[in-house]
């Protein structure tokens, strides 16, 4: 099932995945997004994935779990992942779960792309 709220742009060995949904709370949306992101990892060896989370306003713990699994898959494939544009109201979720210690966050996705370009794998 393709994820109809995930816009993907691939360039310069960097994949930018913009999540265009405010609420990631229901199992169907979470499964769809997780599948869409996992397909990117399968298609792009040693992926440099930047997730643009600027539109997300609500996030469930199940989605956090999917992000951890995605991060582990990318790391196992010798790639890297960053998340840009997380709203300040959501950052406490990443801090309390200590995901901010393993996943790199940027104020916006553009800064993550710039950093990946500056320091290629």
All domains of the chain in start order, with CATH: 6-118 (3.30.750.24)
What's the alpha-carbon Rg for the chain, to the nearest Å?
Answer: 13
The neighbouring-strand residues paired with 107 are none
Residues 8-19, mean pLDDT to the nearest whole number: 92
The residue assigned the tokens 């997780």 is 34
Place of tokens 């989605």: 63
Specify the pLDDT at position 45: 82
Per-residue pLDDT tens over the stretch 72-93: 999 999 999 999 999 999 999 9
- How many C-beta neighbours within 10 Å does residue 34 have? 19
Tokens of 66: 């999917």
The answer to whether 5 and 21 are in contact (CB under 8 A) is: yes
For the chain, give the percent of residues with pLDDT over 70: 99
pTM for this one?
A: 0.95
């Amino acid at each position: 099932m393709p994820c109809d709220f995930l816009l993907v742009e691939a360039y310069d060995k960097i994949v930018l995945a913009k999540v265009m949904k405010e609420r990631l709370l229901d199992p169907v949306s979470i499964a769809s997004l997780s599948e869409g992101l996992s397909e990117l990892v399968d298609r792009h060896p040693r992926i440099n994935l930047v997730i643009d989370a600027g539109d997300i306003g609500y996030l469930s713990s199940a989605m956090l779990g999917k992000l951890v699994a995605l991060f582990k898959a990318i790391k196992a494939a010798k790639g890297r992942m960053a998340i840009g544009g997380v709203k300040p109201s959501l950052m406490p979720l990443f801090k309390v779960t200590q995901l901010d210690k393993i996943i790199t966050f940027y104020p916006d996705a553009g800064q993550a792309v710039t950093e990946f370009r500056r320091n290629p794998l």
